[in-house]
Amino acid sequence: MRRPLVWFVFFFCLGIYLDSHVSMAFFWLELFTLLFLILCLLMLKRKVLFDFFLCVVIFLLGAVLFQNSQKLSPNHISKYLKYSYKRFSIVKGIIDTPPVLKNGRTSFLFQTKEVQFDHLRLRTCGNILVYVKGNNALDYGQELILGGNLYRPYYLRRGNISLVMNARVMNFSNAPKKNRGFFLKRFAFYLKRKIENIIFSYLPSMPAAILDAMLLGERRMLSPLINNSMIKTGTVHILVVSGFNTSLVALIIISILKLFRVSRKISFYIAIPLIIIYCLMTGASSPVVRATVMAIVFMAAYLLKRETNIYNSCAIAAGFILTVNPHQLFDIGFQLSFISVLSIVYLYPRLKLFFKPELIKIKPARFLIEGFLVSLSAWLGTMGFIAWYFKIFSPITVIANIFIVPLAALITLCGFALVAMGILCPVIAPVFASTNELLVIVLLNINVFLLKIPGAYFNL
């Protein structure tokens, strides 16, 4: 069996899925898990029975983990607030995400530590979403005391966040200068700010917003019009940071190191922490975490001189994401990310066998056909999910991706070059900025042209 992890993750997901639909007491689930674990121990020497009980244990483990993730501590901030009830409160805690300024207000996630209601100060835990009027020069990791109305909006179901506060910064906590955030995250956010400054200082707002989305996954400046047109052609994945970007970053790092005659082994050791920093910079969404874990598995396998299997690497990435947060199984980003990778890995070789592009002698034509087959494999795998979630069916996706994905890769490369020049040699940076601008305009025009083709997309 070359892919045991795939089965592990399959049963693990099944456990999470069933537990989300069938409620069972945690005590009984844990008891059954322990019971089957003991049975596994007893059947250590009997292959078939051991494997069967192992599958059951992993299935139950998924269910137990999901139940545990749903259980909130009595200290959790959302336990202090009834539904649809606003309550003035003073909260002390730490800023958990980089603050974002939009429409005249700053928003961020706030990791709470203490809360005060009606003169009672209580210890608390859990994150809340905070909005503060104006630009308050806040930073990730700062300890603050906030005051404002805490409420539970009906629309908010973002993972483990259930409360919102319209606040004002009341006080910087006792140690305003001491940043309490995770140092690697702090560094990643510092780099992100630097890169954004370079992008927005050299490019006009529209291409800058697109490049910001492509390089850093930051979509707050992106026009909804562009976003919608990309959804219709099925190419919106280039506007979010995905596995594509992570692999490109890894490739750039390794290529640069190769240029300096650094051995492959050492370049992998250097690339691993750098792609982790890139993952943190872009907000560590499911697709980026998947790609980062898969890249690390591949590099680690090379360093440990072990054989790699893409299905196993995918399973490790899925297992890691779900162990940290089992709710991700129901996240559309998680589903689309894994489905697209798996369908490319599974369908592309089969389609290649069927269409035989290697028989085409003209290189550019062969490249186009191969691009078409990759695009077709991803489309076949994801079209059902996209139709279900976005109520849209876009046959143009297959054609659009052949042109837009290579162009997006070029823009991303040019974008990284612009950032590098912005730091190393700002005099040359405007040249790269102009190229970037031109490429972004070409990309948008191709997208508009494809949208105008009759039958490009159908709203369901």
Interface contacts to another protein, rule CB under 8 A:
1, 4, 7, 26, 30, 33-34, 37, 40-41, 44-45, 47-48, 50-52, 54-55, 57-58, 61, 64-65, 67-68, 71-75, 88, 90, 114, 116, 119-123, 133-134, 145, 147-149, 166-171
Cα distances (angstroms) measured from residue 145 to each of 74, 116, 250, 342: 22, 10, 40, 46
Shortest reach from residue 94's CB to another protein, in Å = 16
Instruction: Write down the least CB distance from residue 6 to another protein, Å.
Output: 11
The residue whose two tokens read 């008891």 is 31
Buried b (16+ CB within 10 A) or exposed e, 401-412: bbbbbebbbebb
In whole angstroms, the minimum distance from the beta carbon of 132 to another protein comes to 9
In the complex, least distance from residue 105 CB atom to another protein, rounded to whole angstroms? 9
Q: How far apart are CA 131 and CA 166, in angstroms?
A: 5
Least distance in angstroms from the C-beta of 123 to another protein: 4
Q: Which is nearer to another protein, 134 or 204 (CB)?
A: 134
Q: What is the distance between the alpha carbons of residues 337 and 331, in angstroms, rounded to a whole number?
A: 10
Smallest gap from residue 388 Cβ to another protein (A): 32
Please, what is the minimum distance in Å from the beta carbon of residue 116 to another protein?
7
Structure tokens given for 154: 């009906």
- Of 89 and 313, nearer to another protein (C-beta) is 89
What's the CA dihedral at 157, 160, 166, 168 to 10 degrees?
A: -160
CB of 166 to another protein, least distance (A): 5
| Biggest distance spanned by C-alpha atoms of the chain | 79
Q: Which is nearer to another protein, 148 or 243 (CB)?
A: 148
Token digits for 411?
């823009």
By C-beta, is 131 or 385 nearer to another protein? Answer: 131
The torsion angle over the Cα atoms of residues 188, 193, 199 and 201, rounded to 10 degrees, is: -160
Q: What are the φ and ψ backbone dihedral angles of 241, each rounded to 5 degrees?
A: -75, 125
Report the nearest approach of another protein to the CB of residue 319 (Å): 11
Which of 91/369 has CB closer to another protein?
A: 91
Distance CA 388, CA 460 (A): 9
**C-beta closer to another protein: residue 18 or 274:** 18
CA-to-CA separations, 40 to 29, 44, 422, in angstroms, rounded: 16, 6, 59
Could you give the count of Cα atoms lying within 13 Å of 58 in the half-sphere of its Cβ?
Answer: 19
Q: Collapse the DSSP code of 460 into the 3-class scheme (helix H, G, I; strand E, B; otherwise coil) and give the result.
A: coil
CA separation (Å) from 158 to 109, 193, 399?
11, 24, 34
Q: Which is nearer to another protein, 12 or 268 (CB)?
A: 12
Name the nearest CA neighbour of 408 among 375, 430, 431. 375
Q: Of 76 and 352, which has the nearer Cβ to another protein?
A: 76
**Nearer to another protein among residue 74 and residue 454 (C-beta):** 74
Rank residues 1 and 359 by Cβ distance to another protein and give the closer one: 1
CA-CA distance, 89 to 95, in Å (whole number)?
17
Shortest distance, position 26 Cβ to another protein, whole Å: 6
The H-assigned helical ranges of 22-158 are 26-42, 47-70
Residue 251's H or E segment, with its range, is helix 243-259
Least separation, in Å, of the C-beta of 10 and another protein? 12
Q: How far is the CB of 28 from another protein (least distance, A)?
A: 13
Whole-angstrom CA distances from 12 to 17, 55, 65, 278, 387 are 9, 9, 9, 28, 26
CB closer to another protein out of 61 and 347: 61
Q: Which long-range contacts (CB under 8 A, 24 or more apart) does 310-314 make?
A: 310/345, 311/3, 311/5, 311/6, 311/342, 311/345, 312/2, 312/3, 312/4, 312/5, 312/6, 314/6, 314/290, 314/338, 314/341, 314/342, 314/345
- The encoded tokens of residue 353 equal 């066998």
Considering the complex, state which of residue 48 and residue 259 has its C-beta at the smaller distance from another protein: 48
